[in-house]
Amino acid sequence: MKLRLKLVLVLVLFATKGVSQWEYRVNNSHKSIEAVGSVQFNFKIQDTITLSLSRSRKLGLDFSIQGNLFQRDQKYYVLLEIADRKIKVKNSLVLNKQLRILELEDLISNEKYEVEDFIKILKRGDSCTLTIRADHKVIQGYNSLSGSVSAINSVLNGPIL
């Protein structure tokens, strides 16, 4: 009986890992722990966009969108659609080809969120549609939030390096 239970557990883990777009990893060079989710597009682009939640002694809890698209001298309009919520990035910084998100705002209720509050919304969602507008370019991508809860919880509850 125990062997059968172990076999079922292993099969469930492989099935969820195959569908998951989120992973947990330790970044020793930056001395941080990270939950990273890839964004898929319905067309081919030259860049990979990822959602990244990290925690370190230096920055604390940090949420960013990473990709070669982000240039320091440009302004970006970013919209995240999770469940029935449309959440706009209100305040952000562009550093090292990543858009570090500092504050977000719900466009329907006008409620403002810090990163910690937004992560609670992100964990409850099934999927996230990401829209980024820069100058005359607009891209839209999709991220399945399957596997995000365990990866995010590992970052929130894991040891700080």
Which whole number is the average pLDDT over 28-39?
A: 85
The residues pairing with 139 across neighbouring beta strands, listed in sequence order, are 132
The residues pairing with 25 across neighbouring beta strands, listed in sequence order, are 34
In the chain the domains, ranked by start, together with CATH numbers, are: 21-157 (2.60.40)
- The residue written with tokens 């898929």 in the block is 40
Give the pLDDT confidence score for residue 118 in this predicted structure: 96
**Cα–Cα distance between 57 and 43 in angstroms, integer?**
38
- The model's pTM is 0.78
Instruction: Name which of 78, 77, 92, 66 is nearest 128 in CA terms.
Output: 78
Name the band, by pLDDT with cuts 50, 70 and 90, for residue 13: very low
